[in-house]
Amino acid sequence: MYSVIVVPPSCARVDDQIRIAVGERLMFGRATPDGGLAIAHQGVPRVAGEITAHRSFWLLSNLSEDQTYVVENPEGAGEHLKVAPGRLEAPVPFEFARVVLPAAGDLLTFDVWAPRHAFRSADRRGLPGPATAPAFALDRTSRYFAVLTALCEPRLRGEPHAPLPTVEQLVERLRPSWPTVSRSTVYWNIDYLALKLRLRPGPDTAEPGRRVNGKKESLVSLALRFDLVCEDDLTVLAAATSGALR
């Protein structure tokens, strides 16, 4: 059973994909041994790295002398990890991953899939004792959730480095479903979210004169890191058109 599938750059056919089983290794670089992944670019080291397959994840060794490699999760709204030069067997947990190699001014990529990820049931019913309090209690029918979703929308749509919408753009995005929305109501909901998600202290505990900068960026970062908002939630913005939000 193959554990990891490597998709070479510009791969157009399934037959060109490379499959490696648990424990097997695949070298990649400009001049790899037979059976390796050859990347024909003068800026790529002859032996640039190695991939080792495990059951549900894989290891990346960076064999270059001075280039940091980046492994992105194409489905993760900016989720990534860095593998420093000389680092051996760094674990990569993404089911879908894109390896980015800097090469003489270019950024070369190839994909690695680890499709054997498995999940157990999270059902805890029947166990004694009080239920675990949720880490983040969000009402997906509320206006503040629509504001949060609209804030995250560009990055949820596959642009992990997209600039965040301005308050004016949020107002325009939400107006069809929320005719009375205004700059002040959007600001109010952003402030409320920052308080609710504990990005700022409550009014009774706030230190005099203390301010929280980058509030929108902090909200989006937290929401995407912990999957508080995901791609499926974009339907909230569509549902908002019917005026269903409270």
In tens digits, the chain (246 residues) has pLDDT values of: 668 999 988 887 888 889 999 999 999 999 887 788 999 899 999 999 999 998 889 999 999 999 999 999 887 777 899 999 999 999 999 999 999 999 888 899 999 999 888 777 767 667 778 777 778 888 888 899 999 999 999 998 878 788 999 999 999 999 887 888 899 999 999 998 998 888 865 555 545 444 444 889 999 999 998 889 998 899 888 754 444 455
Pairing of strands 18-21, 25-29: unpaired
**Contacts of residue 223, Cβ cutoff 8 Å, sequence gap at least 6:** 148, 151, 152, 197, 229
Range 66-70, long-range pairs (CB < 8 A, 24+ positions)? 67/101, 67/102, 67/103, 68/102, 69/99, 69/100, 69/101, 70/99, 70/100
Check residue 201 and give its pLDDT.
Answer: 57
Query: Are the C-beta atoms of residues 174 and 150 closer than 8 Å to each other?
Result: yes
Q: What letter would DSSP give residue 36?
A: S
| Tokens (6 digits) for 161 | 């480095």
Burial of 92 (0-12, 13-18, 19+ CB in 10 A): buried
pTM score, whole prediction: 0.70
Q: What's the CATH code, domain 3-113?
A: 2.60.200.20
Torsion angle defined by CA atoms of residues 34, 12, 109 and 231, in that order, rounded to the nearest 10 degrees: -140
Alpha helices in the chain (DSSP H): 143-156, 167-174, 183-196, 215-225, 235-239
Query: Are the C-beta atoms of residues 60 and 53 closer than 8 Å to each other?
Result: no
| Tokens (6 digits) for 41 | 């670019």
Q: Hey, how many other C-beta atoms are within 10 angstroms of the C-beta on 18?
A: 19
b/e per residue 36-72 (b: at least 16 CB within 10 A) = bbbbeeeebbebbbbbbbbeebbbbbbbbeebebebb
- 92: number of CA atoms within 13 Å, CB side? 34
Q: At what angle do helices 143-156 and 215-225 cross, to 10 degrees?
A: 80
Q: Hey, how many other C-beta atoms are within 10 angstroms of the C-beta on 141?
A: 13
Backbone CA torsion sign across 53, 98, 121, 136: positive
| Distance from C-alpha of 58 to C-alpha of 96, rounded to nearest angstrom | 11
Torsion angle defined by CA atoms of residues 172, 176, 182 and 183, in that order, rounded to the nearest 10 degrees: -30
